[in-house]
Amino acid sequence: MMHKSTFLLTVLATLSCSSSLAQCQLATPPQILSTVIDMNGIEATFIFAPQTNGRGGGGAQVLIEVQKGLSKSFAISPTKGFEYHIHIKPVGPDNDCIATGGHLDPESIGATAKCNPAKPEKCQEGDLSGKHGELKATESGSIPTMSYVDHLLQFTGESSTIVGRSVVIHNNGTRVACGDILPVAAQRVSGSNNNSTSKDQITEAGSDSKAPLYTNGACSNRAVGGSTVMMMMMMAGALAAGVLGGVLGV
């Protein structure tokens, strides 16, 4: 159970974290993470707040806000919506979403079996839309903020952590937008010139399923935008007011 004061301290620690990603990674408790996407006309923000009641002590409160881009006119299959997943690698140079590899799947469940939301433990860890539903296309392309708890997401473990990986949005299987999952203070906006992470900052830890390892070099990522910080503060304020109490189990 995460006490309200503990959650608020985590929020404040995340917002005040220095630009050195290595320092952010070493901070405890686990950092609140975010993905900020701004590419191909799609603007979206994902927030991952650590929980303590999931499998292996993991789990995350997930908040998603799509500001623009996921419209019915853009969707190849408007009635189906947009799939989104956590992929094992960060975004490649020049916003290369293909470089993110496959889905995060430390249990080697595989992508052939369709995820059953009623049995999330049988789904890939990174199959967020399979467990919680797709991002439904709208006329305007914006999607109201949605929130859920995913008890299987991990913030630790070389092969299971979501830190340093990426979120990829798909349009009927095609990768249309992506962004890295990083502590808020080290976040960059996909679509900017600084979107790709240099080899001096990330090295692969053996196999594709393992998390990227960050060096002690200074993080060159662009600071996260004000909208993400505002979402963070709204989330903290809502918890303090007891709005999210039932969901977070505090």
pLDDT digits (tens, 9 = 90+) for 45-59: 999 999 865 455 579
Percentage above 70 pLDDT, the chain: 60
pLDDT at 208: 45
The confidence band for 187, taking pLDDT boundaries of 50, 70 and 90, is low
Residue that wins the pLDDT comparison between 232 and 245? 232
pLDDT at 207: 35
> Is pLDDT at 178 greater than 60 in this prediction?
yes
> Is pLDDT at 112 greater than 60 in this prediction?
yes
> Three-state SS across the chain?
CCCHHHHHHHHHHHHCCCCCHHHHHHCCCCCCEEEEEEECCEEEEEEEEECCCCHHHCCEEEEEEEEECCECCCCCCCCCCEEEEEECCCCEHHHECHHHCCECCCCCCCCCCCCCCCCHHHCCCCCHHHHHCCECCECCCCEEEEEEEECCCECCCCCCECCCCEEEEEECCEEEEEEECEEHHHCCEECCCCCCCCCCCEECCCCCCCCCEECCCCCCCCCCCHHHHHHHHHHHHHHHCCCCHHHHCC
The confidence band for 104, taking pLDDT boundaries of 50, 70 and 90, is very high
> Is pLDDT at 186 greater than 70 in this prediction?
no
The confidence band for 163, taking pLDDT boundaries of 50, 70 and 90, is very high
The confidence band for 229, taking pLDDT boundaries of 50, 70 and 90, is low
pLDDT at 174: 94
What is the pTM assigned to this prediction? 0.71
Q: How confident is the model over 116-160, as pLDDT tens digits?
A: 999 999 999 999 999 999 999 999 999 999 999 999 999 988 999
